[in-house]
Amino acid sequence: MWSEQLNALTPAQREAVEHREGPLLVLAGPGSGKTRVITHRVANLLRHGVPPRRIVALTFTNKAADEMRARIDQLAPGQPVWMSTFHRFCARLLRDYAPSIGIRENYTIYDTSDSRQVLKRTLEALDIDATLYTPERIAAAISWAKNNLITAEQYEPRSGHPLGNIVSRVYPAYQARLLASSAVDFDDLLLHVATLLRDNPETRAALDERFQYILVDEYQDTNLAQYSIVRALSIDHPNLAVTGDPDQSIYGWRGANLSNILDFEDDYPNVRVVKLERNYRSTKRILRVADCLIGYNQRRKQKGLYTENDEGQCVRLTAYPTQRVEAESVAAYIAQEVHAGNRRPRDFAIFYRVNALSRSLEFALRDQGIPYQMVNGLEFYQRKEIKDVLAYLHLINNPRDDNALLRVINMPPRGIGKTTIGRLVAHADQYRISLLDAAREAGMIESLNKRAAVAVAKFVAAYDQLAVHAAAPVEEVLGHVLSGSGYQKFLADSENEEDQERLANIEELLTAAREFDERNPSDAPLESFLEDTCLVNDTDAWAAEDDQVTLMTLHASKGLEFPVVFIIALEEKLLPHERSRENNDLLEEERRLLFVGITRAREELQLSLATYREFRGQRRHSVPSQFLMELPRDEMDVVEPAASATSAWEPGDADAEFAASDDDIQFDPEQLERATPPETDAGSSSSLTAATSAASITTAAKLQQGSQNAPPPPSPEAFHQGMVVRHPEYGPGKIVALSGSGARRTATVAFAAGAGEKKFVIAKSPLQPARST
C-alpha cells in the first residue's frame, strides 16, 4: 500500500518525502505537488515510528492547515499531528508561558480593529496630533518593528525621521496598554514567542525537544519573527523541512523576508535541496506566459518550469471600454459555458487586486443568475453586533480587557455617556487599575454624579451575574450574555430593520458556539472559543465544494486552482498598485502577485483591462499595466480596444448584447436588487445561514405537531434563545440560555412569577413552547 503510494510520486517528490533527518528545502513551483510532498512526508515520518506529537506543521492560513490535516488523516488515520497556522501555534504556546512575558493565561487577542482602537486611545492620551501621521501609518510602523523583533524598549528612530520619533513615543505606551489589559495583538503572538525562546534557554531547549520535526509551508512568506521561532526550535533537532517558492512571495508588506528562503542554504549548511519543477496543473501555454512574466524579476532563484500537459488554448488578453462591459462580458461568458453544459459555476474564478473591484462583477453575475461566492465580503466576525457580543465574552474571560469593557459598557445604552467614561478612565489611570475595577469603585469617584454612578454600578452588577457562568459551555454563556446584558431585548425591540438582521447574525453566532461546544469539549471552553474566533478569517469559510463562481483577491488565491481563471483590471495603479510603483522590490512583488494569479489556472486564462474605470466614484482613463508588455504575444489572443465600444468573445450576438446594455442608460439598478437571489447577500456565512434555517424549519414542524397531539414530546430543537416557554408548575418564563445537544440539551429558564432561574434537561422536562410576543 505504502510503496504503491511512493511509486505514484515522481523521483523528485519521492526524494523529498523520504528525507527524514536534517534540514530540507523544497523549492516547489506552482502546481508541482507541494502539498502532496508535505503530507506524504509526514506520513512517512509516522511510518518510521516518529511519535505524532514530535511533529508540527506550520502554515499561514487555517485553510491550508485544515487541508493538510485532512490529507494526512487519509494517509495515516487517527494520528494527532499538530498542524496549525503560525499564529495559532504561538497562541497555544503563550497560553502555557504567558506569565513569563507579563500577561495572564487568559489573555485576549486583539484583532486589527481592536488594536487600532487601542492605538487611537494611546495617541489621545499622549496628546499626539494624528493629523500629520495617521494612526494607520503609526500602526504600520509598530507592526513592522514587531515583525522584525524590535521590542518597545529597543525601538530607536532613525535620526531625522519624524514618524520614527512619534513611534518611539507611542510604541511603548501602546505596548504598556496591551500588557495592562493582558492583551496581545497579532504581531505580539509571534514577537512574544520569539523573545520567549530567545531569553529562556531552558524553555527553548524543552520545546526544541518537543518539536523534533518541523515543517513550514510557504516559507517564502516568513518574516523575521517567524524565522527566528522556527530557527530556535531547530537547533538540537535540526529536522526542519521548509517548502516554498520565492516567486510566490506576496506578503512583503507584512514583513515577509524573501531572504529567509533565498539564504536558507547558508543558514543550514547540510541542507538537502529538492526542486520540484514539473507542473501538473496548467497547460503549456499558461505556464509559458507565467514563466516569461516572472523572468523579469531580479531577486529570485532560477527555476525551469515545465509540464507534460497539453498545449492548451491561447491565453486571452482583452481590453474592454469600461469596467461594466468587462464585468458583463466575463459573466456572459461564464453563463454561456454553464448553459451549454461545458462547465459548472465552480470551475470559474475571478481574481482582482483590490476588493473594491468586485462590485461590478457581482452585479453582472447576479444579472446572469450565476451563483457566486465572494471570499472576503463583510467579514462575519467584524460585524458590529458580533463584535459587541464577543466583547462581553472577552470581558468575562479576561476582566482586565479594557477594550472590551469600553465596547460594551454602554451597549445596549445604559446612560453611561462619554463624560462618565472619561472619568472612569481617569480614575483607572490614576490608580493603575483596570476599567472594570474602576467601575466597581464608581460610588467613590467624586467627579461622578449620583445618576452616573448608579448606572455604572448596575452595569457592574449585570456583569458579575454574567461572569458567574464563565465556565459553562460557550452557547450557554452566550445565552446569558444575550439575556443578561439586555442586548437581545434591545435589538428585538428595535423598529430598525437592520437590527432584525443583527439578531439573525447573533443567532448564527449561537449556532457557531453550539457547534464549537459539540466539537470541542474542553475544560476552558470560553477561552478556546475566543482564541478560535480571533484567529479565523473568512477565507477559511470558502467552500470549494459549493457549485459557485469564486471571486477573490489575488492574495487570497494563493494555494488554489481552477479550470478557468479571469484576472481583471490589469491597469497601472491597480496592478501594479499605485503604492508599489515607486520601488523596485515592491514592483517585483506585484509581478509575483500576477504570477500567482496566472498559475492558478488549469485550462483557460483570461486577462483583461478596461479603458475607462470608475473607481472611488470617479471615472478615469486607465493605462494598461506595464506587466502586459512582458507577456509573450505568441502565446496569446489579443483583443485590442476597439473604436466602437465592442470587444467580446464572439462577434455577432454577443456584440449586440453588450452594445445594447452599454447604451441603455436608463438601466435601473433597483431591478438588479430585486433580482438578487436571497442567498447571495453574505457569502462568507452561507453555511451558517443554511444551518440556522434548517433548524428553524424543524422548529416549525415540531411546533405544528405539538399543537395537534395531546401530550407532545418537545424536541430540543423546538427551543431557541430568548423564547417564551411555559412550565405547568412555574408558569411562563423565558429561555435565558441553552447548552448541550440531543437528549442532553438543557435550557435555563427565567420564570416571571418570582420563581427565579431554573435549568431543565429539555427532553425530560414538561416545558412547552409558548407563543412569543
Partner DNA sequence: TGTGAGTTGATTTTT
Partner DNA sequence: TCAACTCACA
Catalytic residues: 34-35, 217-218, 248, 600
Q: Site for DNA (CB under 7 A): which residue of 617, 652, 678, 711?
A: 617
Q: Are 284 and 291 in contact (CB under 8 A)?
A: no
Please, what is the minimum distance in Å from the beta carbon of residue 117 to DNA? 8
For residue 615, the minimal CB distance to DNA (Å) is 8
How many residues touch DNA under the rule CB under 7 A: the total is 45
Distance of CA 132 to the CA centre of its chain: 31
Which C-beta is closer to DNA: that of 61 or that of 550? 61
- Identify which range of 79-87, 162-170, 306-314, 395-403 contacts DNA by CB under 7 A: 79-87
Residues from 528 through 547 that contact DNA (CB under 7 A): 535, 537, 539-540
Helix axes 162-180, 112-126, angle to 10 degrees: 110
Say if residues 725 and 703 touch (Cβ distance below 8 Å): no
Are 182 and 400 spatial neighbours (Cβ–Cβ below 8 Å)? yes
107 binds DNA (CB under 7 A): no
Binding-site member from 74, 112, 165, 520 for DNA (CB under 7 A): 112
Sole window of 160-168, 285-293, 349-357, 651-659 interacting with DNA (rule: CB under 7 A)? 349-357
Asked if 144 is part of the footprint of DNA (rule: CB under 7 A), the reply reads: no
Q: Does 87 sit near DNA (CB under 7 A)?
A: yes
Helix (H, G, I), strand (E, B) or coil at 727: strand
Between CA 145 and CA 56 the distance in angstroms is 27
Selected range binding DNA among 572-580, 622-630, 654-662, 756-764, rule: CB under 7 A: 572-580
Q: How far apart are CA 579 and CA 353, in angstroms?
A: 12
The conformation of residue 372, written as its DSSP 8-state character, comes to E
Q: Pick from 109, 121, 132: which is nearest to 170 by CA? A: 121
Using alpha carbons, select from 439, 442, 385, 434 the residue that is nearest to residue 412: 385
153, burial (CB in 10 Å: exposed 0-12, middle 13-18, buried 19+): exposed
For residue 734, the minimal CB distance to DNA (Å) is 23
With CA atoms as reference, report the closest residue to 287 among 263, 312, 251. 312
- Nearest 5 degrees, angle CA 504-CA 508-CA 513? 145
Q: Which residues within the stretch 196-255 sit at the binding site for DNA (CB under 7 A)?
A: 250, 253-254
The answer to whether residue 415 forms part of the interface with DNA (CB under 7 A) is: yes
- Which residues are 316's β-sheet partners? 606, 637
Q: Could you tell me the smallest distance in angstroms from the CB atom of residue 249 to DNA? A: 11
Residue 528: exposure state from Cβ atoms within 10 A (0-12, 13-18, ≥19): middle
The least CB distance from residue 66 to DNA, in Å, is 12
**Choice from 39, 61, 488, 646 touching DNA (CB under 7 A):** 61
Q: Nearer Cβ to DNA, position 149 or 314?
A: 149
Stretch that binds DNA, among 17-25, 167-175, 463-471, 576-584 (CB under 7 A): 576-584
Please pick, from the candidates 93, 386, 416, 762, the single residue that binds DNA as defined by CB under 7 A: 416
Q: Residue 615: is it exposed, middle or buried by C-beta count within 10 angstroms (0-12/13-18/19+)?
A: middle
For cell 465552480, name the residue. Answer: 346
The residue range among 95-103, 238-246, 366-374, 408-416 that interacts with DNA, by the rule CB under 7 A, is 408-416
Mark the segment that binds DNA (CB under 7 A) among 26-34, 350-358, 623-631, 640-648: 350-358
In the complex, what is the shortest distance from the CB of residue 507 to DNA, in angstroms, rounded to a whole number?
22
All cell numbers assigned to 698:
424543524
Smallest gap from Cβ 385 to DNA, in A, equals 13
Smallest CA-to-CA distance from 225 within 248, 186, 176, 191 is with 191
Q: Using N-to-C axis directions, what is the helix angle for 384-397 and 474-484, rounded to 10°?
A: 110
User: What's the Cα-to-Cα distance from 397 to each of 94, 107, 181, 405, 750, rounded to whole Å?
Assistant: 16, 8, 12, 12, 24
* Binding region for DNA (CB under 7 A) out of 84-92, 263-271, 293-301, 678-686: 84-92
* Alpha carbon of residue 615 to chain centroid: 26
Q: How far is the CB of 413 from DNA (least distance, A)?
A: 3
Which parts of 275-334 interact with DNA (CB under 7 A)?
none
CB atoms within 10 A of CB 126: 12
Determine if 111 is a binding residue for DNA (CB under 7 A). Answer: yes
Q: How far apart are CA 473 and CA 671, in angstroms?
A: 46
Region for 573 from its dihedrals, namely left if φ exceeds 0, alpha if ψ lies in -120 to 50, beta otherwise: left
- Write out the binding residues for DNA, residues 9-38 only, by CB under 7 A: none
- Distance, in Å, from the CA atom of 614 to the CA atom of 620, rounded to the nearest integer, reads 6
Q: Which is nearer to DNA, 113 or 707 (CB)?
A: 113
Q: Contacting DNA (CB under 7 A), which of 20, 555, 726, 758?
A: 555
Cα–Cα distance, 98 to 63 (Å, whole number): 27
Q: Tell me: does residue 186 bind DNA (CB under 7 A).
A: yes
Q: Which is nearer to DNA, 25 or 190 (CB)?
A: 190
C-beta of 190 vs 319, nearer to DNA: 190
Least Å from the CB of residue 253 to DNA: 4
- Provide the total of helices (H) and of strands (E) in the chain, helices listed first: 29, 23
Q: Specify the residue, 595 or 751, whose C-beta has the smaller distance to DNA.
A: 595
- Looking only at residues 352 through 371 of this chain, which bind DNA when binding is defined by CB under 7 A? 353-356
- Order of strands across the sheet with 768-769? 756-761, 746-751, 731-739, 724-727, 768-769
**Closer CB to DNA, residue 548 or residue 748?**
548
Please select the residue that binds DNA; options are 102, 201, 413, 756, rule is CB under 7 A.
413
Q: Which is nearer to DNA, 120 or 726 (CB)?
A: 120
Instruction: Answer yes or no whether residue 420 interacts with DNA by CB under 7 A.
Output: yes
Q: Shortest distance, CB of residue 60 to DNA, whole angstroms? A: 6
Q: How far apart are CA 510 and CA 13, in angstroms?
A: 45
Which region, judged by CB under 7 A, interacts with DNA, from 33-41, 57-65, 199-207, 309-317?
A: 57-65
- Nearer Cβ to DNA (109/335): 109
Q: Name the residue nearer to DNA (CB basis): 351 or 730.
A: 351
Contacts of 610 (CB under 8 A, 6+ apart): 319, 320, 321, 322, 323, 325, 326, 569, 571, 622
Neighbours of 301 (CB within 10 A): 12
Q: Which of 241, 217, 215 is nearest to 34 (CA)?
A: 217
- Amino acid letter, residue 272: R
Look at residues 640, 567, 658, 662 and name the one whose alpha carbon lies nearest to residue 605. 567
> How far, in Å, CA of 301 to CA of 425, rounded?
54
Euclidean distance between CA atoms 185 and 208, whole angstroms: 25
Scanning 43-51, 290-298, 396-404, 415-423 for contacts with DNA by CB under 7 A, the matching segment is 415-423
Strand, coil or helix: 320 = strand
- Residue 556 engages DNA in binding (rule: CB under 7 A): yes
- Residue among 272 and 440 whose Cβ is closer to DNA: 440
577 near DNA, judged by CB under 7 A: yes
Residue for grid cell 510557504: 218
Closest CB to DNA among residues 437, 540: 540
**CB of 683 vs DNA, minimal distance in Å:** 13
Task: Kindly identify the residues of this chain, within the stretch 715-734, that bind DNA according to CB under 7 A.
Answer: none
> Smallest gap, in angstroms, from Cβ of residue 636 to DNA?
26
Q: Which is nearer to DNA, 131 or 644 (CB)?
A: 131
Residues 21, 24: Cα–Cα separation, whole Å: 9
Q: Which chain residues interact with DNA by CB under 7 A?
A: 60-62, 85-88, 111-112, 120, 131, 134, 136, 186-187, 250, 253-254, 353-356, 376, 410, 413-420, 452, 535, 537, 539-540, 553, 555-556, 577, 579-580, 616-617
